[in-house]
Structure 1
Amino acid sequence: MRSSRVYRIMASALVKLGEPDLAWLAADRAMAVAGGDPLRQATAAIPLGQALRATKRGRLAMGVTIAAAQRIAPAVPHDGPPGELALCGTLLVEAALAAAVCGDAPGVAELFDQAAKAAERVGEGRDQFGPTTVAAARVVAAVELGDGAEAVAWHEKAIGGSGWGRLPVEHRAAHLIDAARAYLQVGDLLRAGRALVDAHRTAPAEIRCRPVACTVLADVHRCGPMPADVARLAALVGLTR
């Protein structure tokens, strides 16, 4: 249904803009208008999980996304149509990220392992799901769990794979912001700043419009002298006025 897609897009945009409560309302509406179709409901559950996670309702986000994944999971694990496997895998990734919000490291590992198996079956480049997107999501989870070293390792794996260049530019930029958070956790300010500059070159709106990007940049700015390109970026977003 077209109206469900509109609500999904609204919800995702509102999460990015730092309005998770409004995003929750839009995502809930997307679920309501999806009707009884399991695939449409599963697709709508993705932004709902994102919105719930952004409001720190991790357990609820896990419940929503895992239930949606189970409803569309193939009878033989990882042996369904590629499109449905990609959707199921995306839901498992969202559930893993929600588990990270709860501090549930074993749950994170188990859910990512399931998502990775689906990703291996699907391959790169289908519905923005594949081994690279799973690796990139592991960065977010590791940062949430406070393991910067693991996050950096997964970041390097994500950008080194063949699927990196196939991701939409806004997804690559968003990932680089997450990588900057990882570098901050391990105290590597130079690489944190470089990741933010690369993100701005890739998709400027991800830096200029997302509150989380400005927060990370402000953290880098506060920690000491910056390279010229990072200082210019800080001035561009208004941190040095």
Structure 2
Amino acid sequence: MGHVLCATGRARAAGTAALAAAYRIAPTDPDDADGSPLSLCGTLLVQAALAAARHGDDKAAAVRVDEATELAVVVGDGQDHHHTCFGPTAVALARVAVDVERGAADEAVARHVDAVGRDGWRWLPPGVRAAHLIDAARAYLQTDDPVNAARVLLDADRTASAEVRDRPAARDVLADTIRHPDAPATVLSLAVTLGVS
């Protein structure tokens, strides 16, 4: 529901829905809970953080990501309770996405470099990694670095091509990248293949 509300421009409602669901399933003592409810709760907190960032509420976004971080530490990386992939690395990727949404590109790039260097990065499904690389490309473009934006877009295409080829947001980032006067030729061939101009 949160994804649908965000996609229709109702980020505030999406955040409210995700937060209400997260708190409803949150265990009373996270230290005594198994990873399953913590993963669901943490994933919903991440969604609430992203919705808050899209709505322009940086403080709420930061609070939600911090709450998710606490749960992620208990769950750990390498788990996939309810197919959430929730853990410290997933929350690190969420921080990048929040930074991109709020226009803190330098922070987003630094967090991206840290996140992909974690052991948990390789445990994430290819689609999750590719989606993150698209966020990283947005961050690189915000810092006026089309070379690294192109590099991570090409990595995303190699990792899970459907994420780049089928997602409108990815195609938009690709279009923005190739319009940059310093865009490398390597990304132009991907754009031609996809019919992006």
RMSD: 1.2
Letter matched to residue 193 of structure 1: A
In the alignment, which of 90, 93, 113 is matched to residue 156 of structure 1? 113
Distance apart, 1:202 and its partner CA: 0.8
Q: Which residue of 1 aligns with 2:52?
A: 99
Residue 162 (structure 2) pairs with residue 209 (structure 1)? no
Match runs of 1:58-97 below 5 Å? 58-97=11-50
1:15-43 Cα shifts (integer Å, max 9, x gaps)? xxxxxxxxxxxxxxxxxxxxxxxxxxxxx
1:130-175 Cα shifts (integer Å, max 9, x gaps)? 0111011111111111111111122112101111000111111111
8 A contact 2:27–2:33 mirrored in 1: yes
SS at match of 1:56: coil
1:31-66 Cα shifts (integer Å, max 9, x gaps)? xxxxxxxxxxxxxxxxx1122122221221111111
Max Rg structure: 1
8 A contact 2:131–2:163 mirrored in 1: yes
Alignment coverage as a number of residue pairs: 193
Q: Which residue of 1 aligns with 2:64?
A: 111
Letter matched to residue 74 of structure 2: R
Residue 129 (structure 2) pairs with residue 172 (structure 1)? yes
Residue 9 (structure 2) pairs with residue 56 (structure 1)? yes
8 A contact 2:30–2:38 mirrored in 1: no
Runs of 5+ in structure 2 lacking a partner? none
Runs of 5+ in structure 1 lacking a partner? 1-47
In the alignment, which of 152, 157, 164 is matched to residue 195 of structure 1? 152
Q: Which residue of 2 aligns with 1:145?
A: 102
Letter matched to residue 94 of structure 2: A
Report the CA distance shift for 1:152/1:78 in structure 2 as closer, same or farther (over 3 A): farther
8 A contact 2:146–2:182 mirrored in 1: no
Distance apart, 1:239 and its partner CA: 2.6
TM-score by length of 1: 0.77
SS at match of 1:163: helix
SS at match of 2:28: coil
